[in-house]
Amino acid sequence: MSQREFSEILSEVQAKIAAACARSGRSADDVQILAVTKTHGAEVVEEAWRAGLSVVGENKVQEAAWKKAASISGPEWHLIGHLQSNKVRQALGLFDCIHSVDSVKLADRLEFIADEIGASPRILLEVNVSGESSKSGMKPEEAHGVVRHIVENCPRLTLEGLMTMAPFSENPESSRPHFRRLRELRDSLEHEIGVGLPVLSMGMSADYEVAVEEGATLLRLGTVLFGDRPKIKPVRAVSDGDCAQGALDSFSGAGPTVRILD
């Protein structure tokens, strides 16, 4: 994809965001795009940055480790996938913000390592508002206790807001009640605990306009910007001469790998 083509796609997405903001009485300046670059190479990070997107998101610590080193400097890096406790130290060295804090245990681990290395990470709480067993995230009723714990016991952590993922559906409107519930939960937390939680990370390529209408401030967009993720296979299965720098083994997250052309 050329820079011109990407800029055109981005302009179309931004126009839809602006229209959704207008419908809901919001300013388009209140909504930011996070470019989801998972399984794409470092060249996609540069493409997004040069088009004006300042935040990229990765699902795996392992993938970000090699991709960030190979990428242009400038963008913020956000972890949007599940974070295992044994990856906390590495994650704190790579990411500006972690979207997937889903328990007191993980918050305490982040606080302990951050204090040890002198880091001050920004975090979001992942809330499973849909109740799907296949999704990570705390139950909505657990959020009040976790927020209070972080505020009272984790001075190294800056809690900025909440994140959720709606169930997949062909109909974007199906996501609306889940996004609304997250916004209402945020409002309740701010009122009852007296803490500011300005960030709502919700909405992806299939439902981002609905998310904006329901209050999203950070949209996690990948496919709508970059197209379908590349078909790939592990580098160990091919010769070194065939390796395409920046591709990824999506199963292990270890990269680099070779892309398989259709």
The two structure tokens encoding residue 185? 């939960």
What does the pLDDT look like over 51-109, one tens digit per residue? 999 999 999 999 999 999 999 999 999 999 999 999 999 999 999 999 999 999 999 99
Main-chain phi, psi angles of 155, to 5 degrees: -65, -20
The two structure tokens encoding residue 8? 């055109």
Residues 121 and 197 in one domain: yes
What does the pLDDT look like over 125-152, one tens digit per residue? 999 999 887 788 999 999 999 999 999 9
How many structural domains compose the chain? 2
Tell me which residue has tokens 């270890």. 254
DSSP state of 80: -
Residues 170 and 242 in one domain: no
Residues 134 and 246 in one domain: no
Residues 224 and 235 in one domain: no
pLDDT at 253 over 50: no
Percent residues over pLDDT 90 in the chain? 81
pLDDT at 257 over 80: no
Identify whether the C-beta of residue 55 lies closer than 8 Å to the C-beta of residue 32.
Answer: yes
Domain of residue 262 covers 230-262
User: What pLDDT is attached to residue 4?
Assistant: 57
Instruction: List beta partners, residue 147.
Output: none
Question: What single-letter amino acid sits at 185?
Answer: L
Q: What is the mean pLDDT of the chain?
A: 89
Rounded to the nearest 5 degrees, what angle is found at the Cα of 37, between the Cα atoms of 35 and 40? 150
Residues 223 and 255 in one domain: no
Dump the DSSP string for 27-72.
-GGG-EEEEE-TTS-HHHHHHHHHTT--EEEES-HHHHHHHHHHSP
pTM for the structure as a whole = 0.88
Residues 98 and 120 in one domain: yes
Residues 93 and 155 in one domain: yes
The radius of gyration of the chain from alpha carbons, rounded to an integer in Å, stands at: 18
Residues 61 and 122 in one domain: yes
What kind and span of H or E run contains 171?
Answer: none
Residues 133 and 166 in one domain: yes
Q: How far apart are CA 17 and CA 201, in angstroms?
A: 14
pLDDT at 247 over 90: no
| Other beta carbons less than 10 A from residue 139's beta carbon | 11
pLDDT at 161 over 80: yes
Residues 98 and 148 in one domain: yes
Q: How far apart are CA 245 and CA 252, in angstroms?
A: 16
Identify whether the C-beta of residue 85 lies closer than 8 Å to the C-beta of residue 108.
Answer: no
CATH number at residue 119: 3.20.20.10
Identify whether the C-beta of residue 229 lies closer than 8 Å to the C-beta of residue 50.
Answer: no
Residues 99 and 124 in one domain: yes
Identify whether the C-beta of residue 260 lies closer than 8 Å to the C-beta of residue 39.
Answer: no
Residues 97 and 136 in one domain: yes
